[in-house]
Amino acid sequence: MRILVLGITGYLGGHAAEQLRTLPGVRLLGAGRTPATGPAVDLATVDTRQLADVVASFAPDAVVNCAGAVGGDAVTLAEVNARGPAVLCAALREAAPRARLVHLGSAAEYGPAAHGERVTEDAATRPAGPYGATKLAGTVAVTAAGLDSVVLRVGNPVGPGAPSAGLPGRVVRQLLPAGADPGAVVRLGDLSAYRDFVDVRDIARAVVLATTAPGPLPPVLNIGGGQAVPVRELVHGLARAAGFRGRIEETQGGSARSSDVSWQCSDISAAADALGWAPRYGLAESVAALWASARTGPAPAPAGDRVR
C-alpha cells in the first residue's frame, strides 16, 4: 500500500508518519513545504496541475493531508486551510481518483457550544473566528469532492513535541528557562476555558485506522479526548511536571476564541463505531510526555505556524 502524507514535517504529520511506517506492506511517501522528505509542496501556493503531477508520480493508494495553518492573518489561514484542500481534491480527482483521502479538520469548526454539551458530527457549525471558518471551508471542499474521503475533526492536540504555535508548547517554552526558581513568573491569558485535549499519538492512531479501514467511512469523525478539561488544569499539570516553583499569572484578555468559545467537548462515539478507535492516553500522560520531550532539546518553534 502506497500512502502519501502531506505536511509530513509538521507536528501531526510527523506523528502520523511515524505510526504509518510501522504497518506491514506500506510504502510511505512524504511531501512538505521543504524538499527534505520529498518534493516541496506548499498547498498555499501550488496549482492543481502541479499537484496533480506530484500525485501521479507517487500513484498513492491513500493520501493523508496533515498540512494546515494554526496562526497568521486571515489571508494566510484561507490560503492553507481552505484553498489547499480544494486544490488537493481537484488534483486527486485528476491523478488518483480511487485513492482514499484522510483530511485533518478541527473541532474549532463547531464554534460555541452549551456548557456540558458533547458535540456530535451533525451539530451546527458556527466557527468563532478565521481559523475555524477556514478549517470548515476545507472540510466542505473535501466532503463535497466526490472522493473516498473522511475528515477527522481533531480536538486540541497535546503530547510529545507540541510546537510553540499552540498553548501547550508555548507554556513549555516559558517553563524551560524558569526552572525551579521560586521568583519566576509565567504570564498567560485567561485559562478558564474548557477544551477537549487529545494526545497527538492517539490522533496518529486514528489516522492509521482511517487510512486502512475497508469500505467507505462517514464523511466526518470527531477525534478528541471525549471530555472537557479546564485549560488551567493543563497549564498547572505542565508546571508540576517541570518542578516549577514560581507563580503563574493569568492576565485579562487572551485569545478571542477563548472568550467566544468557553466550552469545547466532542462526542467521539462515531469514531469508536466506524474505526474501533478510542483515546488511550489521558491528559496527565500527555503532559508528562510533552515535558519529557521538551527536556531532550529546545522547545519546538513554530515553522511559519503551518503545523496543522
Q: Residues with catalytic annotation?
A: 131
Spatial separation of the C-alpha atoms in residues 68 and 41, rounded to whole Å: 12
Q: Length of the chain in residues, anyone?
A: 308
Report the distance separating Cα 259 and Cα 40, nearest Å.
38
What is the DSSP track for 130-194?
Answer: HHHHHHHHHHHHHHTS-SEEEEEEE-EEESTT--TTSHHHHHHHHHHHHTT-TT-EEEES----E
CA distance 64 to 126: 26
> Which among 174, 166, 305, 178 is positioned nearest to 243, based on CA atoms?
178
CA angle, 196 then 200 then 203, to 5°: 80
Rounded to whole angstroms, the Cα distance separating 276 from 221 reads 12
What's the half-sphere exposure (Cβ side, CA atoms, 13 Å) at 304? 15
Task: Return all residues near 264 (Cβ < 8 A) that are at least 6 apart.
Answer: 107, 110, 113, 119, 155, 156, 193, 194, 195, 196, 228
Do residues 35 and 9 touch, judged by C-beta distance below 8 A?
Answer: no
Q: Contact at 8 Å (CB) between 184 and 247?
A: yes
